[in-house]
């Protein structure tokens, strides 16, 4: 079965056709004319596991278990709350301030990276790594193209994020010592907290490997201040990897682990 193909929406014009050609070229995928066929028909006919549908202003990844497309999701509400002076537990765990540099090793939908980018501001920098080239393409394009004028600062925060389609261990090994302030991990939970229809297509494409101690050592070498791990409240990853666990809120099922690299010995 082919991994995926690229096609267009049913109503096409020159702009959409050109966008589809560029997407197929960039992803090294087959470009298939839609010809009024349904996505299900295309998948069955070409034995494709997924179809990247190119539209005028967006990309949709269609799979048998649903569709994946970029949207700022909870970042929208979190930024609104942050602007009102409410605390954000991820921001607190990272110790984010204006001008800081953040390396998000597991970009996914990009919501955490957007919030981080908003907080570090124009003088800061957020780089998002994503091992799935398909996810990186859809999210990266959305971050640069989606119009989100509200709340103030959201769209600018999206545009500032640099997306790199690469495995985080490979990327970390190539970085200089103390080259960013915070390295952040949000690995795919082995047991989902909810059966979300929105995340189902992402789950199959995502990297399910747990964070290794080798990756943690590289992260602590690269970070100047902190390495932060986001996990489910029941996770044993915090103790396995030596993170100091902090709650994600009184009733939250999300917890954060922190390593202060200035105090890290490699054995704690």
- The residue extents of the domains of the chain are 2-56, 74-260
> Would you say residue 221 has pLDDT above 80?
yes
Q: Please, what's the b/e burial string for 166-186 (b: 16 or more CB within 10 A of its CB; e: otherwise)?
A: bbbbebbeebeeeebbbbbbb
Of the chain, the percentage scoring pLDDT greater than 90 comes to: 74
Provide the greatest CA pair distance for the chain: 61
User: Rounded to whole angstroms, what are the CA distances from 203 to 81, 109, 141, 190?
Assistant: 28, 11, 20, 10
> Would you say residue 5 has pLDDT above 90?
yes
Give which of 58, 59, 3 is closest to 28, Cα–Cα.
Answer: 3
Which stretch of DSSP H or E encloses residue 81? helix 74-83
**Distance separating alpha carbons of residues 223 and 264, to the nearest angstrom:** 11
CATH topology of domain 74-260: Rossmann fold (3.40.50)
3-state secondary structure of 144: helix
User: Rounded to whole angstroms, what are the CA distances from 19 to 6, 57, 59, 83, 98?
Assistant: 10, 10, 10, 36, 36
The partner residues of 191 in beta bridges, in order of sequence, read none
Q: For 36-82, how does the pLDDT look when each residue is reduced to its tens digit (9 = 90+)?
A: 899 999 999 999 989 999 999 999 999 877 888 999 989 999 999 99
User: How many other C-beta atoms lie within 10 A of the C-beta of residue 247?
Assistant: 13
Quick one: pLDDT band at residue 1, thresholds 50, 70, 90?
very low
Q: Beta strand 244-247 with 48-54: parallel, antiparallel or unpaired?
A: unpaired
**Distance separating alpha carbons of residues 214 and 220, to the nearest angstrom:** 10
Identify whether the C-beta of residue 29 lies closer than 8 Å to the C-beta of residue 21: no
Q: What is the pTM of this model?
A: 0.91
3-state secondary structure of 150: coil
Q: For 87-128, how does the pLDDT look when each residue is reduced to its tens digit (9 = 90+)?
A: 999 999 999 999 999 999 999 999 999 999 999 999 999 999
Q: What is the 3-state secondary structure (H, E, C) of 194-222?
A: CCCCCCHHHHHHCCCCCCCHHHHHHHHHH
**Distance separating alpha carbons of residues 125 and 181, to the nearest angstrom:** 10
**Distance separating alpha carbons of residues 111 and 95, to the nearest angstrom:** 17
**Distance separating alpha carbons of residues 117 and 182, to the nearest angstrom:** 12
């Amino acid at each position: 079965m082919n991994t995926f193909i690229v096609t267009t929406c049913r109503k096409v014009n020159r702009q959409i056709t050109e966008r589809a050609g560029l997407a197929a070229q960039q992803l090294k995928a087959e470009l298939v004319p839609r010809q009024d066929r349904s996505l299900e028909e295309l998948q069955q006919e070409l034995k494709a596991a997924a179809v990247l549908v190119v539209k005028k202003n967006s990309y949709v990844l269609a799979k048998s278990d649903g569709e994946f497309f970029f949207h700022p999701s909870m970042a929208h509400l979190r930024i609104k709350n942050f602007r009102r002076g409410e605390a954000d537990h991820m921001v607190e765990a990272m110790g984010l301030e204006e001008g800081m540099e953040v390396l998000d090793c597991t970009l996914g939908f990009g919501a955490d990276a957007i919030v981080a980018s908003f907080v570090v501001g124009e003088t800061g920098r957020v780089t998002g790594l994503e091992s799935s080239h398909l996810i990186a393409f859809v999210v990266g394009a959305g971050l640069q193209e989606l119009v989100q004028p509200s709340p103030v600062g959201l769209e600018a925060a999206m545009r500032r994020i640099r997306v790199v389609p690469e495995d985080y261990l490979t990327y970390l090994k190539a970085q200089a010592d103390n080259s960013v302030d915070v390295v952040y991990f949000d690995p795919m939970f082995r047991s989902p907290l909810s059966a979300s229809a929105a995340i189902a297509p992402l789950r199959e494409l995502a990297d399910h490997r747990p964070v290794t101690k080798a990756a943690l050592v590289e992260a602590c070498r690269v970070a100047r201040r902190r390495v932060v791990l986001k996990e489910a409240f029941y996770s044993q990853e915090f103790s396995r990897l030596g993170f100091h666990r902090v709650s994600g809120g009184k009733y939250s099922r999300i917890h954060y682990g922190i390593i202060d690299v200035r105090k890290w010995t490699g054995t704690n």
